[in-house]
Amino acid sequence: MFNASPRTFGPLRPNLALHALLAALPLLGACGSIAGSTNMLSDERIVAEAAGTLGKMPAELKLMSRQTSGTNTYAVLRSKDGKEHSCTINGGNLLSFGMVNPPSCQPR
């Protein structure tokens, strides 16, 4: 016969889940610092990735500044016509195996 009673867990099951969660918290917090300290994006790669998004040749852009925070790299680029763009590039670190998502760029 089918038993429709709800499943009950012994006294150790909830404690095990709680302990696993507490043990994982420091590891999750370290992901941002690992990603930031293992950034593999060269200046040339930042320019090349942003150029594709902006529809320009890499030779038309100059990297003005860059900053890495966690898994994101923030860059300011200036084109030969004087226009500046702020770009955010996600990835390019150890946690993403060096791969990047397409940059998101906005005019400044």
Instruction: State pLDDT tens for residues 50-100.
Output: 999 999 999 999 999 999 888 899 999 999 999 999 999 998 888 778 889
pLDDT at 98: 80
Is the residue at 107 inside a domain? yes
Instruction: State pLDDT tens for residues 14-59.
Output: 566 666 666 665 555 555 555 557 788 999 999 999 999 999 999 9
Please tell me the distance from the alpha carbon of residue 58 to that of residue 36, in angstroms, as a whole number.
25
Is the residue at 89 inside a domain? yes
pLDDT at 25: 55
Is the residue at 2 inside a domain? no
Within the chain, strands assigned E span 61-69, 72-79, 84-90, 104-107
pLDDT at 32: 55
Residue 72 is part of which domain span? 10-108
Is the residue at 82 inside a domain? yes
Domain count, the chain: 1
Of 58, 102, 61, nearest to 85 (Cα)? Answer: 61
Is the residue at 98 inside a domain? yes
